[in-house]
Amino acid sequence: MASQSLPIIHFDHATFGFPGVIALEDISLEIQSGEFVGVIGPNGSGKTTLCRAVLGLMAPLKGGHLRIFDCACDELRCHHRAKIGYLPQKGVVDRNFPVTVLETVMMGRYGALGLFKQPSGRDHKIALDALAHVGMEGHRDSALGHLSGGQQQRVFIARALAQQPQVLLLDEPTTGLDITTQHNVVELVQHLHEELGLTVLLITHDINMIRSRVDRLVLLKTRLYAAGPPADVLKPEILSQVYGKDLVITERDTIIVEDYHHHHH
């Protein structure tokens, strides 16, 4: 992590939303190339807005700035966007769409290819490599809708990898998966971060799942409450500001937030 280099994503007093409805307020945050950053916060805290902003789908309101790859986010060109591999929230995509696994992953090549160009043998190979990275190469001709939730998440991660991105942006990748599959998906993301040197932005409810894996945590609730190494962010006095009385920290240091608690024995 070369902290002296330019940040790959740079929020500078950026506010997002519509006049009267502020989703994120006065965010200043730098994300360096090669970092693994977890974004946490309660429902409606602006996590998905942060995601849309990084994708260049939302520009900051007057006064603030957001730069991605040293480019103002509202001037993001298509080839910039292709450098961000994005895994949307489960349920956003119609999982019964008539599409095979390989066809899904090939879509990851489309943005990078640009208009008027058809995928070549090289793109095909990139897509197959991406499938191999997530351990799904044996399912290339399966129907996407026939796979389990965890397998579908892997395919969507492969789709993001096929873009050959610099940044991997994951919006609640473990929601709706069983606990073992959740661990497998987060482990896969960590593995890809280490093996491919990807900058990872992982948005999640599940603090315990990622606290030991990320370089930094960003705690949001409309405003940015804290950003730093997990040990500095996950302090009761900081967390209680955001989660209030919904927060329970067990003797074994497991953080439980009402509504999202899992069964720890």
> Which span sits near another protein by CB under 8 A: 105-113, 131-139, 196-204, 252-260?
105-113
- Work out whether 66 is an interface residue with another protein (CB under 8 A): no
- Work out whether 99 is an interface residue with another protein (CB under 8 A): yes
DSSP the chain: --TTSPPSEEEEEEEEEETTEEEEEEEEEEE-TT-EEEEE--TTSSHHHHHHHHTTSSPPPTT-EEEETTEEGGG--HHHHTTEEEEPPTTSS-TTSS-BHHHHHHHHHHHHH-TT----HHHHHHHHHHHHHTT-GGGTTSBGGGS-HHHHHHHHHHHHHHT--SEEEEESTTTTS-HHHHHHHHHHHHHHHHHH--EEEEE-S-HHHHTTT-SEEEEEESEEEEEE-HHHH--HHHHHHHHGGGEEE-TT--EEETTS-----
- Work out whether 59 is an interface residue with another protein (CB under 8 A): no
Closer by beta carbon to another protein, 2 or else 21: 21
- Work out whether 78 is an interface residue with another protein (CB under 8 A): yes
Closer by beta carbon to another protein, 13 or else 146: 146
> Which span sits near another protein by CB under 8 A: 11-19, 30-38, 76-84, 188-196?
76-84
Closer by beta carbon to another protein, 79 or else 183: 79
Residue selected from 103, 129, 215, 246 as contacting another protein according to rule CB under 8 A: 103
Closer by beta carbon to another protein, 103 or else 215: 103
Residue ranges in contact with another protein by CB under 8 A: 55-57, 78-82, 84-86, 88, 92-94, 97-100, 103-104, 107-108, 110-113, 115-116, 118-119, 143-146, 160, 163
